[in-house]
Structure 1
Amino acid sequence: MAKRVVIYLDGGARGNPGPAGTGYLIFDEEGRLLAREGRYIGFTTNNVAEYTALVQALDRARGFEAQEIAIRSDSELVVRKLNRSYKVRDKKLKPLNERVRILLYPYRKVEIQHVPREENREADELVNQAIDEALQE
């Protein structure tokens, strides 16, 4: 059981909308990798892919029973919506945003931070690998 987990996540669609994927990495407070996944999610938009990556990562993070969570994303839109700087108006994003709020509720402390793409390179690679593998099949 980790006291605190840190999630790096990314989602993307080629063509926007287009073939899309998600990727995330979850670390404990010592920086040890706890989970890593990339997944193809079909044909959708970048924003839906970003939110879907977050939902997937939060679903996985529940198993670590942490009390605190830190989320790192290079999507300014998602970060600002989660920090409530922007309202969620898109009907495709509203249910995903609600799911995120439910998944974040048990944590005593939630930190959501925008990071430069360079700091999120591995999550981005997971997205691209998932899309590439799906398109080769």
Structure 2
Amino acid sequence: MQIKKAILNVYSDGASSGNPGPSGIGYVIEDAEGNIIFKYSEFIGNTTNNVAEYTALLKAIEKTIELTPKKVRFYSDSELLVKQLKGEYKVKSKNLIGLYQAVVSKLSLLNYDIVHIKRDNNKLADNLAKSAIKNGIRSFT
């Protein structure tokens, strides 16, 4: 499926039960009218919440690239992730450097914005990430 002229909104979230502990990711891709195009969740094993946040965004970016949109707005409730990607914070964690570099590399292929939102505005992606931890499986539609 390609959506070449579309403007997409992508919500991503990572969750960890224990930090580090069992972790899951989730993301939702919507069209400009708010219709869900794709949603995804995956159990990613034991890791930290920040690694889960970056992994969720990376997977969301990879799927978004497949859709070849005109413009994308990424939303995350992780202030650390958003501020690191905007260059406001440095990436100091050795666990995040490789993920950060992969995200930046993939983002260079898109016309995008990234926006920090409150957790209440990211409920579907959050529920997908938590569901992945609870069920320990991958799910997409």
TM-score range, shorter chain: over 0.9
Q: Greater shift after overlay, 21-30 or 43-52?
A: 21-30
1:6 is matched with 9
Letter in 2 for 1:54: L
Structure 2, gaps ≥5 residues long: none
1:114 is matched with 116
Letter in 2 for 1:65: T
Q: Indicate the SS of the match to 1:92.
A: helix
- Correspondent of 1:57 among 23, 37, 60: 60
1:132 is matched with 134
**Higher normalized contact order (CA 8 Å, seq sep 6+, divided by chain length):** 2
2:70 is matched with 67
- Deviation at residue 4 of structure 1 after TM alignment: 1.7
Percent identity reads: 40
Residues matched between the structures, number: 134
- Does the 8 Å contact 2:75/2:114 carry over to 1? yes
1:44 is matched with 47
Q: Distance in 1 between matches of 2:103 and 2:136?
A: 26
- Does the 8 Å contact 2:12/2:56 carry over to 1? yes
- Root-mean-square deviation (Å): 1.3
Letter in 1 for 2:80: L
Structure 1, gaps ≥5 residues long: none
1:23-70, Cα deviation, whole Å (9 max, x unpaired): 000012232211101110000000000000000101111111012111
Q: Distance in 2 between matches of 1:19 and 1:89?
A: 23
Q: Distance in 2 between matches of 1:93 and 1:67?
A: 29
Q: Indicate the SS of the match to 1:107.
A: coil
TM-score, reference length from structure 2: 0.90
- Correspondent of 1:78 among 81, 104, 108: 81
TM-score, reference length from structure 1: 0.93
